[in-house]
Amino acid sequence: MKTLKNWSVARSDRHHVELTVEGKHSLCLYVLEPGLFRVVIKRQGNWSLDRTWSIAPEQDVPWEGRSRDSLAGFTLPGFTLQETDNTLTISTDVLRVIVHQPLALEWQYCDADGEWQLLTQDRPTSAYQINPHGDGVAHYQRRMADDRYYGLGEKTGDLQRNGKRYEMRNLDAMGYNAASTDPLYKHVPFTITRRDAVSFGLYYDNLSTSWFDLGNELDNYHQPYRRWQAESGDIDYYLFVGARVLDITRTFVRLTGKTLFGPKWSLGYSGSTMHYTDAPDAQNQLMNFIRLCEEHDIPCDSFQLSSGYTSINDKRYVFNWNYDKVPQPEVMSQAFHDAGLRLAANIKPCLLQDHPRYEEVAAQGLFIRDSEADVPERSVFWDDEGSHLDFTHPQAVAWWQENVTRQLLEKGIDATWNDNNEYEVWDGEARCHGFGQPVAIKHIRPVMPLLMMRASMEAQQRFAPEKRPYLISRSGCAGMQRYVQTWSGDNRTNWTSLRYNIRMGLGMSLSGLYNVGHDVGGFSGDKPDAELFVRWVQNGVMHPRFTIHSWNDDRTVNEPWMYPAVTPAIRAAIALRYRLMPYLYTLLWQAHNDDEPMLRPTFLDHEHDPQTFAECDEFMLGRDLLVASVVEPGQRERRLWLPDNHTGWYDFATQQWYSGGQWITLPAPLETQPMLVRAGAALPLSQRIRHVDAAADDRRTLQLYPLQGKGTCHGELFEDDGESWGYQQGHALWLRWEMRCEAAAIHLNLSRSGDYQPAWNTLQVTLPAGEQRPLFIDGVAVQPSAAAVTLAQIARS
């Protein structure tokens, strides 16, 4: 590749400056927000791919993609411009970039004292490289000694990415090693760089296979550097600054689109296993799951049908019901609905070459086309070869949606599980329709799963327009949070996966994928022993997605009741999740409405505490719950660092208070997972329910965790019917609380908005055991043993 060196100013307007580089290439610097700039290099002044599907700052992108020239959705604040013989400076009052000659960008931010400080800068030697005659681009930045790197979406290993090399190439990584395997399923070329005083995000809007080197590589001829390199496409990156890591994550979500607000039942326990649908009597096996949940008193809200329901012999054929295994899909669906459970069905975007409908689809030209012949491209898929549907072809989208509707939704299936959608089409020049503008697959491979899930979502919305859709997808790219819940793919059953899946989930959350989870108990390999299974369930119930799923090598099934001796511990863990459902649902609302991560590394809210940046196995669920999962066999105590939050922490089980900023050791018998609650929090809790049901959920508790000293804290509870769009018209309940703690009393003030009336009418208010201060609710003294307030008594805000 050729290094770009010499530049001159070509033109500028109110929103950007364009440079001419090497007399023929264009470099555009856009000022999108005071703290958000964009850098674009167009080879020969032209785009390699003139559309994007990831950038959605205002609303969803058109099906055919958003023009890369579009500036819609940004405030475009304007800037000042200064030019010397060898530099060009573009400034807002927050961020500025200095373009040096030869080409290298230096970024500075304005600190709290109004002084400009170095943020980052390109490597002064060979910062930008392109292949002027074909594919390949690269960008090099200096690597500072105090940089901490996070992000990159779904990656194995430690949460901090320093010193590693990573690849973005979507793969079906069956049975991966959670500590080391790379690449995996998702394409999120986004990093967060954190320093003591500032953080910044860097997102490369390039959809081709790419690589990040964050300190693994050294070169004697250059200063320490970090590198991004892409197989094809353009250099098109967004750089944004913030005081905290949280600011960067939230900005990235606002850049790529809001989190889908799914139905409340999507937060319940979802059963799944390959074994049931692979069995010759699949329908009986599935119906028996309902009976076993009732027999063992396990709350459950849904079941995910693995692809065995589509089989002919040992292979899978999307939208093909095996009526020998499942003779009456509608009867089966109704039985699940009668029990309060929903069904999600596995669907795949590739038709095997002997699929009963392959020739029909091929004749319509709905597959990705071979690069050299006018035939469908064929790739290895599920022990055979097949052709992938081209979701950039409107007729392919229509075919897919018709079949989602006719073969699934009309048979009582409630949701789609979009799986095996990595699009491992390695003929990079294979041709896609491109909505009338043909494009090679190498430019848009991760877009295919994004459009697949969008097609499924729109089919569900048309079929049931009054209900919020729920979908799952394994693969995708930045922006997939607009459509689906996701998970960390086909993990392997061992203690390593339990430990490092925690870090993987946190990495996805920092990268804008908030609604995530893992295959609890492990998907492939040997079945988990009883101890590992209990610890995995205890951890899994504290993630937004909670699914026990398996394809064990010995054909056993991971089920809540698989080990009778520990079933009470499993039951207790799942019951705890349902008790926390009002808190979880409020977190999902805040993820959608406020762009707040649900899963949070401990440093996210405690950056002032350096110990929280050490790799650990703890995490936050929302701002208030600190989860300390047990991730080692035989461990019956749990040592952990309590972040210094200036208020302290309460043990969730014992309600004992601890000061922050210290190591503590808590008992961790097999039936218990240590958790702590932030002092100053108030947790909304439900009573025991069998499944999410707005009409039956008729009791609500607000458990207060008051400050030991003086101070005021705030929070909210969100409630609605759990599945409609009514909240958009105010048909929901926003219950906001303020807790003012004094030496001699605790004052709780409540207010409400919205017109939704939940099944519960009285809010019970409780204090930790041993709390002696009197409690006042809205100025009225109440007895702690019988503190309650009705919704009618709460003032409207």
Helix/strand/coil (H/E/C) assignment for every residue in 322-353:
CCCCCCCHHHHHHHHHHCCCEEEEEECCEEEC
DSSP state, 469?
-
Please give the mean pLDDT across all residues of the chain: 97
Residue 784 has a pLDDT of 78
Half-sphere exposure of 22 (CA within 13 A, CB side): 16
* Strand ranges, E, within 101-184: 104-110, 116-121, 128-130, 137-142, 148-151, 165-168
684-687: long-range contacts, CB 8 A cutoff, minimum separation 24: 684/582, 684/583, 684/586, 684/717, 685/579, 685/580, 685/582, 685/583, 686/578, 686/579, 686/580, 686/581, 686/582, 687/579
Q: What is the DSSP annotation of 161-212?
A: -TT-EEEE-----TTB-TTT--S-SEE--EEEEE-SS-EEEEEE---S-EEE
Report residue 193 as tokens.
Answer: 């760089």
Q: 435 by DSSP, 3-state: which?
A: helix
Q: What is the DSSP annotation of 627-672?
A: EE---STT--EEEEEE---SS-EEETTT--EE-SSEEEEEE--TT-
Amino acid letter, residue 173? A
CA–CA separation, 436 vs 105, rounded Å?
37
Sheet with 148-151: strands ordered across: 7-12, 16-21, 25-33, 36-42, 235-242, 199-204, 190-194, 148-151
Q: What is the DSSP annotation of 754-774?
A: SS---S--EEEEE--TT--S-
Domains and CATH numbers, the chain: 2-46+75-256 (2.60.40.1760), 599-678 (2.60.40.1180), 694-796 (2.60.40)
Residue 480 has a pLDDT of 98
Name the pairing type of β-strands 95-100 and 682-686: unpaired
CA–CA separation, 691 vs 302, rounded Å?
9
CA–CA separation, 481 vs 483, rounded Å?
5
Read off the pLDDT of each residue in 144-151 and give the average, rounded to a whole number: 97
Report residue 382 as tokens.
Answer: 């599920």
pLDDT at 12 over 80: yes
Which residues, listed in sequence order, are joined to residue 545 by a DSSP beta bridge? Answer: 517
Residue 786 has a pLDDT of 78
pLDDT at 120 over 90: yes
Read off the pLDDT of each residue in 484-499 and give the average, rounded to a whole number: 98
CA–CA separation, 393 vs 534, rounded Å?
46
18: burial class by Cβ within 10 Å (0-12, 13-18, 19+)? middle
Residue 546 has a pLDDT of 98
pTM of the model: 0.98
Residue 186 has a pLDDT of 98
Q: Are 387 and 381 in contact (CB under 8 A)?
A: no
Residue 688 has a pLDDT of 83
Q: 248 by DSSP, 3-state: which?
A: helix
Q: Between vectors from CA 401 to CA 396 and to CA 406, what angle results, nearest 5°? A: 125
Residue 383 has a pLDDT of 86
Lowest mean pLDDT among 51-55, 147-151, 188-192, 770-774: 770-774
The pair phi, psi for residue 161, each rounded to 5°, is -95, 5
Residue 133 has a pLDDT of 76
Residue 258 has a pLDDT of 97
Confidence of residue 797 (pLDDT cuts 50, 70, 90): confident
- Four-residue CA torsion sign, 260, 263, 269, 271: negative
Name the pairing type of β-strands 471-473 and 415-418: parallel
pLDDT at 132 over 80: no
Residue 135 has a pLDDT of 86
pLDDT at 506 over 80: yes
pLDDT tens for each residue of 366-394: 999 999 999 999 999 998 999 999 999 99
pLDDT at 201 over 80: yes
Q: Position of tokens 């950007």?
A: 16
pLDDT at 319 over 80: yes
Confidence of residue 785 (pLDDT cuts 50, 70, 90): confident
Amino acid letter, residue 551? W
The pair phi, psi for residue 379, each rounded to 5°, is -135, 160
Residue 134 has a pLDDT of 75
Name the pairing type of β-strands 649-651 and 657-658: antiparallel
Confidence of residue 253 (pLDDT cuts 50, 70, 90): very high
pLDDT tens for each residue of 420-478: 999 999 999 999 999 999 999 999 999 999 999 999 999 999 999 999 999 999 999 99
